[in-house]
Amino acid sequence: MNPISPHNLSASAGNSLEEVEVHIVGSNMLQNDLLRSFLEKELAVSCGKHRQLAQLSITTGNIRARRVVLIDCDAKETIDPWSAFGLNEFTDPNPPIFAFYNVHPEANLEQVAMERGIRGIFYAEESYEVLPRAITAILGGELWFSRKALSECVMNGDNHFAYSDAATNLTEREREILHMIATGASNLNISKAMGISLHTVKAHIYNIYKRLNLKGRLQASLWAAKYL
C-alpha cells in the first residue's frame, strides 16, 4: 500500500468532495492549540480543537470530509475514554476515524481499543513528530498500534481470515456497514446513520461475518483496514 504524502492529504483525497480534516478533543487547550497549528502546517489540512466530543458534529467543517479525531487521554494511567468522552453515545451520519493520543504506557488500552474500532494509539512518551506520518497511514487504511499488540491480536484469534472470492460478493450496503464498523461505529450509530432498524443492521453484520469468515468487530476492523 502506498501511503499518502503527509504534505498533500487533501489533494490525495481526490477533490473538494472528499477533503481531509483532523480534530483534536481534550481539555488541555494550550497543548491542543499548539498541536493543531503543527498538524495544519505539516499536513496542509483543516484542523480543529474541541473540549468535548459532543462539540464535533456534522456542522463542523465539510460534511463530506474524511475526518480523523484525536482524543487526548491526558497521560492518565487509569482512564476509560469511551465514558470520559461519550464515545458510546456519539452519533454522526459521517462517522470519523478515531485515535487516542497522549496515552499512558500502562493504561492497557490497546486490545480493547482494537476491539472497539479505534484505529491507532499514540503514547505520551512519543514525539509529536510521529503524528503526521501516523495520521497519513490511518487515512490510508492502516492501523497504528504497537507491533506487540497487533501480534497478540493475531495470535489470540482462533480463526484466521483472508481475502477471498466471497469478499467480492459483499453488497454496497454491506461494504458501507463494514467500513462504519471499522471506524468504531456501534450498531445504533449505523442504524441512525443509514436510516435502518437495529434488526436490519444486525442481520447485515451477521451476513458480513459469515461471508468473510470473521468473528467479531476486531477481525472485521482488521479486515476492513487491509482490504477496503
Q: Which amino acid is at 110?
A: E
Least confident segment among 9-18, 106-115, 200-209: 9-18
pLDDT digits (tens, 9 = 90+) for 49-92: 998 888 776 445 556 678 899 999 999 999 999 888 888 777 77
Question: How far is Cα 101 from Cα 122, in angstroms, rounded to an integer?
Answer: 4
Domains of the chain: residue spans and CATH:
9-154 (3.40.50.2300), 158-227 (1.10.10.10)
CA atoms within 13 A on the CB side of 185: 27
Task: Say if residue 33's pLDDT is above 90.
Answer: yes
Question: How far is Cα 56 from Cα 124, in angstroms, rounded to an integer?
Answer: 24
Task: Say if residue 9's pLDDT is above 60.
Answer: no
Backbone angles phi, psi at 16, to 5 degrees: -65, -15
